[in-house]
Each structure stands twice: as structure tokens, then as C-alpha cells.
């Protein structure tokens, strides 16, 4: 049997070093648990960056995948397939939006939203050709493509990747006056996350989304929300924008848990007016909307609905937050979160959260640092209070040492 160090050495030798994973090798997952190649069991508190909201290898999603894989997996969009329509129907119903455009990865969905916003700006709003501007916010994370890093304020994401895609204006997050000031005659959209995940679970002020949407509406620009991480139950609502009454976006970007972590599936959703800017030949993807991905996506959405995972996230997430706040230690600077999307920001004098994540790994809990000083907790939404108690007991022990 190959040991973990050999596998890690092989990976390091053959793979670009674009990640810094914790030193273990996973080979199996079921529900909230994963196992390494030595048979050690861990509670997964990352959920593949919120892609596995339904739990690892959910039987209904796996069954849908296997059945569809035995029929037909890919047709391309040159032909109709019998799975894409039902999948998009369900997605649009859950989001209460007119149309969806399916892609594969979250980054592709972000690119699609940018193209939709620019094309809408030229063809509907009447912005002069090639002058469209999109407002983005500091500390955002929208993916790793050249255009996505062109939107970023993180120097590490941008270093030596220029020249960058033009047409973006950067403002502070949760800053309504800055938003109003940034809007000009060529502004076509505001794109942001309703909660910033990679930035360290940064939650805006109450009512910020509603006010931002109102400003966008007043100025005839599109309000675009990237819910790739926050959507599909993670924050205690089906979509994070639903925590406010009047924060419905003009374009909604979804991915990750859209397939339960089984297969790359993403999409944008929008009104007929916005989506009608796409005509045959304008935009596409060989795999986007493929029957295998659509069958998996439909099953993943059904699981979220049938098992009431958004409601579970709200209830269990509130319980987890209460338990975390009972930890007595001066190492915690702040605990932030909604639903099962929680960040524990440590005192910056401690040198970062990485060592604490490694200590938790040794205790059977897998989580990952984000923005250097924050421990992100985002377990599958099927987690129970009993496992929460066990998790918090070990978190407390590590932070109190």
C-alpha cells in the first residue's frame, strides 16, 4: 500500500505548486465525514469550499449520476437533450427568476455574467461601444481567470498576470456613498458577493444589499450577486440575498453546491430582458447544460429542497455560533457568520490561522485558513448538534492551549 508521504511527494513532483494543502491524502467521503488513505476519519468543515452542502456522495445525487451516465453524458448544445430543461425549470423556480444559462465552473459563470452585463449595457441601456464600466468591491473573490483577477484587489492574485482586462472600478465593500460616487454614465453593473467568503466571512451591514439594489435601480445599472459560495442553503436561506426583503439581483451567479460537489455545474439566472441579449452563436460551452451535469444538478436541487437544508443551516448554524461564542480565550478577535458559513478571526499577533488548522487536523477536524488569520467553518448542511458539540470541544481545546 502506498503511504501518504509517497503520494504527497508524487503530487508535489508532478503538480504545479498552486495550492498549499494540509498534509493528508483523502480517499473516501460519506456525509459529513472523510477518510484518509491510512483509514483515519475526519469531520469535514470545509465542504470543498461549500460545494458539498448536501454531504459527500449523497446517495440520491450519485444514483442520478450513475443512471444518466449509462444513458448519455454529452450532446453539446448543437442538439437538445432531455435533462437540461427540467434542471433549469427547477433552478428558476427556486430562485424565482425567468431564465438560466448553464455553464460548468464558477469562474465560467462569472465570465458569463460579465458578458451579459456588458452586452445589456450596450444594447439595452445604450452605453457607447467599448466604454462599459462595472463596479466591483475590494477583497472580492470571483475566480482565477484573467478577467476575475482583473476585478481583484489582492496583489497576490494579480502579480505578474497583467495586462488586465479593463473596465472595472473598485470601491470599498459595504460602502453605499462610495457606490453612488462611482456610478457614471457608462456604468452597467455592480458585481459583488452578498457575504465575502475568501476575504474571511465578511458580512455587510443590515440592509446593505437592499440599499445597493435600490441605488442600482435608480441609476439603471444591473445588480449582480455572486452566490457561488453563499447560495443553495449555506447561509440559512436558499440564497443569501433572501435574508433581506428587497435584495433580489438582476443577475444571480451560482455554482459549487449546484451539483453537490459531484460534477462541475454552474449557471447565471436573470430576467428575460437581460437574458435576451444572448442569441445563437454569441456565447456557449461544449459541456454547459450537458445531460449528465443537468441530471446531477436537478438531483442536487431536489435534495436541498426535500431535506430542507437551508432551514437546517439556519438552525444548526445558530447553535454552532452560540457554542463558539462560549469559548473562553483571548486568541479570538471576532466570530462572524450566517447559517453554516462562519469565520473565527484570530488575534493577528498569533501569526496566522494555519497552525491552528493543522492542530485541528490532528484531532480529526478538517478546516482551512482564509485571509491568513481566519479559520473558516463550513461543514455540510446535514451536520447534527451532536457533531457540532464534538467539533467545538476540539476547537476550544486548540484555542485554549
Average pLDDT (74-82) is: 97
The CATH 3.90.1150.10 portion of the chain extends over: 4-54+308-400
Parallel, antiparallel or unpaired: strands 168-171 and 133-137? parallel
360-385 pLDDT, tens digit each? 999 999 999 999 999 999 999 999 99
182-201 pLDDT, tens digit each? 999 999 999 999 999 999 99
Average pLDDT (47-55) is: 98
227-248 pLDDT, tens digit each? 999 999 999 999 999 999 999 9
Average pLDDT (46-62) is: 98
Domain 4-54+308-400 -> CATH class: alpha beta
State residue 1's pLDDT score: 56
State residue 65's pLDDT score: 98
317-335 pLDDT, tens digit each? 999 999 999 999 999 999 9
Residue 147 and residue 134 in contact, taking contact as beta carbons nearer than 8 Å: no
Residue 54 and residue 381 in contact, taking contact as beta carbons nearer than 8 Å: yes
pLDDT at 258 over 60: yes
- Select 59-306's CATH number: 3.50.50.100, 3.40.50.10320, 3.40.640.10, 2.40.160.60: 3.40.640.10
Average pLDDT, the chain: 97
In the structure grid, which three cell numbers stand for residue 341, read together? 458559513
Residue 165 and residue 150 in contact, taking contact as beta carbons nearer than 8 Å: yes
Q: Which residues are catalytic?
A: 141, 226, 256
The CATH 3.40.640.10 portion of the chain extends over: 59-306
Q: How far apart are CA 61 and CA 292, in angstroms?
A: 11
Average pLDDT (285-298) is: 98
pLDDT at 302 over 60: yes
What proportion of the chain, given as a percentage, has pLDDT over 70? 100
In the structure grid, which three cell numbers stand for residue 153, read together? 484587489
Q: How many helices and strands, by DSSP H and E, does the chain display?
A: 14, 15
State residue 401's pLDDT score: 83
Average pLDDT (29-34) is: 98
Q: How far apart are CA 270 and CA 195, in angstroms?
A: 20
Q: Is the pTM of this model over 0.95?
A: yes
Terminal CA-to-CA distance of the chain, rounded, Å? 36
Q: How far apart are CA 341 and CA 173, in angstroms?
A: 18
Average pLDDT (335-351) is: 98
Parallel, antiparallel or unpaired: strands 266-270 and 99-103? antiparallel
Amino acid at each position: 500500500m502506498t503511504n501518504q508521504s509517497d503520494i504527497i511527494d508524487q503530487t508535489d513532483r508532478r503538480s504545479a505548486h498552486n495550492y498549499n494543502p494540509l498534509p493528508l491524502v483523502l480517499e473516501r467521503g460519506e456525509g459529513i465525514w472523510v477518510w484518509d488513505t491510512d483509514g483515519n476519519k475526519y469531520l469535514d468543515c470545509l465542504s470543498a469550499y461549500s460545494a458539498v452542502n448536501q454531504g459527500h456522495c449523497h446517495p440520491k445525487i450519485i444514483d442520478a449520476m450513475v443512471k444518466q451516465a449509462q444513458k448519455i453524458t454529452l450532446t453539446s448544445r448543437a442538439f437538445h437533450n432531455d435533462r437540461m430543461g427540467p434542471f433549469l425549470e427547477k433552478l428558476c423556480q427556486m430562485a424565482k427568476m425567468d431564465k438560466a444559462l448553464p455553464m460548468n465552473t464558477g469562474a465560467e459563470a462569472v465570465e458569463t455574467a460579465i458578458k451579459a452585463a456588458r452586452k445589456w449595457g450596450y444594447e439595452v441601456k445604450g452605453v457607447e461601444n467599448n466604454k462599459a464600466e462595472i463596479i466591483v468591491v475590494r477583497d472580492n473573490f470571483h475566480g482565477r481567470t484573467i478577467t476575475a483577477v482583473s476585478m481583484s484587489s489582492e496583489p497576490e492574485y494579480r502579480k505578474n498576470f497583467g495586462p488586465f482586462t479593463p473596465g472595472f472600478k473598485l470601491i470599498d465593500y459595504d460602502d453605499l456613498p462610495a457606490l453612488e460616487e462611482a456610478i457614471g454614465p457608462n456604468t452597467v453593473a455592480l458585481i459583488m458577493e452578498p457575504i465575502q467568503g475568501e476575504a474571511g466571512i465578511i458580512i455587510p451591514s443590515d440592509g446593505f444589499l437592499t440599499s445597493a439594489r435600490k441605488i442600482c435601480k435608480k441609476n439603471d445599472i444591473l445588480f449582480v450577486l455572486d452566490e457561488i459560495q453563499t447560495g443553495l442553503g449555506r447561509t440559512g436561506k436558499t440564497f443569501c440575498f433572501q435574508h433581506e426583503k428587497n435584495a433580489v439581483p438582476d443577475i444571480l451567479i451560482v455554482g459549487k453546491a449546484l451539483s453537490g460537489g459531484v460534477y462541475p455545474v454552474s449557471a447565471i439566472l436573470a430576467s428575460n430582458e437581460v437574458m435576451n441579449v444572448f442569441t445563437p452563436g454569441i456565447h456557449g460551452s461544449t459541456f454547459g447544460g450537458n445531460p449528465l451535469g443537468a441530471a446531477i444538478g436537478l438531483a442536487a436541487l431536489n435534495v436541498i429542497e426535500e431535506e430542507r437544508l437551508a432551514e437546517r443551516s439556519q438552525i444548526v448554524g445558530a447553535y454552532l455560533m452560540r457554542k463558539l461564542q462560549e469559548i473562553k480565550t483571548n486568541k479570538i478577535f471576532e466570530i462572524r457568520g450566517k447559517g453554516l458559513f462562519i469565520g473565527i478571526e484570530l488575534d493577528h499577533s498569533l501569526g496566522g490561522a494555519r497552525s491552528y488548522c493543522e492542530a485541528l487536523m490532528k484531532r480529526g477536524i478538517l478546516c482551512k485558513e482564509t485571509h491568513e488569520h481566519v479559520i473558516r467553518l463550513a461543514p455540510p448542511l446535514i451536520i447534527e448538534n451532536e457533531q457540532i458539540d464534538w467539533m467545538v470541544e476540539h476547537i476550544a481545546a486548540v484555542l485554549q492551549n
